[in-house]
Chain A
């Protein structure tokens, strides 16, 4: 069985996010970039399934400019087998990404498609769901546990107030939540091997997908800086301020 994993290049979770001076977007110039942490969890899960003998090949796909090959290489260094970059000028919005991925899924025919539940830059939480709908495949989002059994996949999902367990027939689309696993560190031999693993580049045209714009980014502003606090003299004063100034109680 093949497993296809989608990874997104995002600003590193440790990096400080700066907004461009004209508020047109986040300033990514010379900012450290990394695999979206949820995508990394999806990659780890795919590699574990392969190591357990449940899969034969792990394919990593990313959409974006050439720079996203770095993240594909990182996934290859973690143990994925080959990579596909879908070359676009910018990172397109979720529906476009889902359409591109759907075409790759049709070409590659994987038994399982793994994604991160959302990307930490735009926080949309859409691509996995859209992909499943486009492909007509069953979906399980926010996965915290995944077991392959008798041609089915059993998934524990994180839901409000607990966990829900689903059984899906394959092929299926699953999006990874934080507790699914703890990703490994890349090993030196795998980093060396990653350079030799195949990475093919394709385009939306080749895949027959026309990119469309459904939304426009108008403005990005940084969060308001926290102003200095005040010292209150008594509990009564605190309660009074919470009631009448902060209006929270």
Chain B
């Protein structure tokens, strides 16, 4: 079984150096919060993650949740772990103080969430979904709904779910068909929802479902969808869970991964209608979903980092124990000494550090954006599809490399390497597929603002190039040269997109994926180059990291520049072709006609 060690030092480096957490906390007027406190928080959260949650990861994979009589029984041991998670206050981390939260910045929440997802992604999905429900209520709920539901959701005493998808409404939520009928001070909800993560379980005394449904007189399409709160147990006069609502889980999906996370088919209103309460105004449900989208999508992107980090730790450990081949003196060679194994390990390490840099920076920009910083807002919008799309796609490659390092032992289920790979496969699918992210990036985030946010990012990368040019270090010179080539190609591709966006109806769609991956590799390379710059400056000062770590940051950035940055040019080349042959064949021709 693979163990998990929280990457406290790199997390602390990224928060302190790359995010500038101390400065951010001053801007947010959080006097007592700084990198030192964040590091303690990560260390302490890491103990629960590695001691309690990580050992349950395999258990959840082997013995997933079961359902009987509309009620889901979660994996044995999860309820106790959840109780500890709640008692230690981890659910409250970023919640507002007024409702019992600790009011810590989103970026610290992101750094801690990385640990939960690394140690046990199936488990961590539960609090992640609760956080989504909390955000929806904070942004759009009435004072009454907030007072009733926020404190137990923020403490973790209850959990939350998001009920969006239906059999005929997946990526296209305009097709939502669940019905809501006004009934006095509440509504009756009828309909079926599928793919509902942690839709039911026995870990808490109540579950708060957020449900998208249509009112009888609602306009067709996206403008006719409303958002409702439907508690599993209706609240009594004291606000305590009492009578069971007309909600049940009618079945669980059999999935290739995340077995510990119950994926429910939820039925609302089988008898006389589930009682629900309107969140915000009628017919605005879908726009409310969009306000939470940046956060939710970044949360899934982060899972791509988390699971790749876990996979890397396993590959690193195995490659030091496993020997193949002997030296002339007869001593055995650990496979970590073989160049191709080393390449795979370095690809994982470099990829993870790039993802961590991007995930934390993007999360910190959400904090800046909440302060009303318009540049940060535009940057968050640009980063979000990259975080979600690129990081979850890269996770496919990196978790696969773990299996490759372990060889036959990786293909065998007992080592757990296969679980990470299987678990990772959902990431480019849920919360908006890679295709959706790619189109969001190229359309709404690039063409729509005429490339303004994109050009601002290019300008920032240029600033880093200038700083790198001022150095005499051969390593930084290498970074400068590789990053410059990448930026040149990406800029050309970006300009081509802006010029040709309307040339054919398919142009943007054809090249959207390559544009997404190009932007991912470029942004990751840029942030690692910045890390290398900061690390090289720190080596001449008194610092808490030590030379070995700082040299490691620089060398890892160099590996990334040599190994991953050329992919920017490759994807840019594809963009420049317009992939005009994508639709060259008729469907019949594709069938071999």
Decide yes or no whether A52 CB sits under 8 A from chain B: no
Q: Which of A77, A188, A190, A192 contacts B90 (CB 8 A)?
A: A188
Residue of A30, A73, A185, A189 touching B48 (CB-CB under 8 A): A185
B92 contacts chain A at the CB level, 8 A cutoff = yes
Name B70-109 residues within 8 Å CB distance of A.
84, 87-90, 92-93, 102
Q: In the assembled complex, which residues on chain A have CB atoms less than 8 Å from the CB atom of B41?
A: 188, 191
Q: For residue B52, which residue of chain A has the nearest CB? A: A185
Residue A187, interface by CB 8 Å? yes
In angstroms, Cα B40 to Cα A185, docked, is: 12
> Judging by beta carbons under 8 Å apart, are A29 and B546 in contact?
yes
Q: Which chain A residues numbered 121 to 158 have a C-beta less than 8 Å away from chain B?
A: none
In the bound complex, CA of A194 to CA of B32 (Å): 11
* Interface range, B side: 20 to 34
Q: Which of A13-58 contact B (CB under 8 A)?
A: 14, 29-30
Q: Which residues of A have CB within 8 Å of B47?
A: 185-186
In the bound complex, CA of A188 to CA of B5 (Å): 19
Residues 35 to 76 of chain B near chain A (Cβ within 8 Å)? 37, 40-41, 44-45, 47-48, 51-52
Q: A241 interface residue, CB < 8 Å from B?
A: no
Which residues of B in the span 536-574 have a Cβ within 8 Å of any Cβ on A?
Answer: 545-546, 548-549
| A32 CB to nearest B CB, Å | 8
Name B89's contact: one of A29, A189, A194 (CB within 8 Å).
Answer: A189
Interface of B is mostly: helix
Question: How many angstroms between the C-alpha atoms of A14 and B50 in the bound complex?
Answer: 12
A195 lies within 8 A of B37 (CB)? yes
List the B side residues contacting A196 at CB < 8 Å: 32
Cα–Cα, bound, A73→B44 (Å): 12
Known A29-B546, A185-B88; contact A191-B48, beta-carbon cutoff 8 A = no
On chain B, the residues within 8 Å of A189 by CB distance are 89, 92, 102
Q: Contact between A186 and B548 (Cβ–Cβ < 8 Å)?
A: no
Complex partner residue of B40 from A30, A73, A187, CB under 8 angstroms: A73
Instruction: Give, as a whole number of angstroms, the nearest-CB distance from B123 to chain A.
Output: 16
Q: Which chain A residues in 155-191 approach chain B with CB under 8 Å?
A: 185-191
Contact A77 B84 (CB under 8 A): no
Question: Which residues of chain A in 189-215 are interfacial with respect to chain B, using CB atoms and an 8 Å cutoff?
Answer: 189-192, 194-196
**Interchain CB contact under 8 A, A30 and B44:** no
Residues of A within 8 A of B549 (CB): 30
How far apart sit A54 and B102, CA to CA, in the bound complex (Å)? 30
B93 touches A188 (CB 8 A): yes
Q: Check if A187 sits within 8 Å of B102, measured CB to CB.
A: no
- A192 near B102 (CB under 8 angstroms)? yes
Interface residues of B (CB under 8 A from A): 5, 32, 37, 40-41, 44-45, 47-48, 51-52, 84, 87-90, 92-93, 102, 545-546, 548-549
Q: Apart from A29-B546, A30-B548, A188-B88, what are 8 other A-B pairs with CB-CB below 8 Å?
A: A74-B40, A185-B48, A185-B52, A186-B47, A187-B89, A189-B92, A191-B37, A195-B32
> What are 13 A-to-B residue pairs whose CB atoms are below 8 Å?
A30-B546, A74-B40, A185-B52, A185-B88, A186-B47, A188-B41, A188-B45, A188-B88, A188-B90, A189-B89, A191-B37, A192-B102, A195-B32
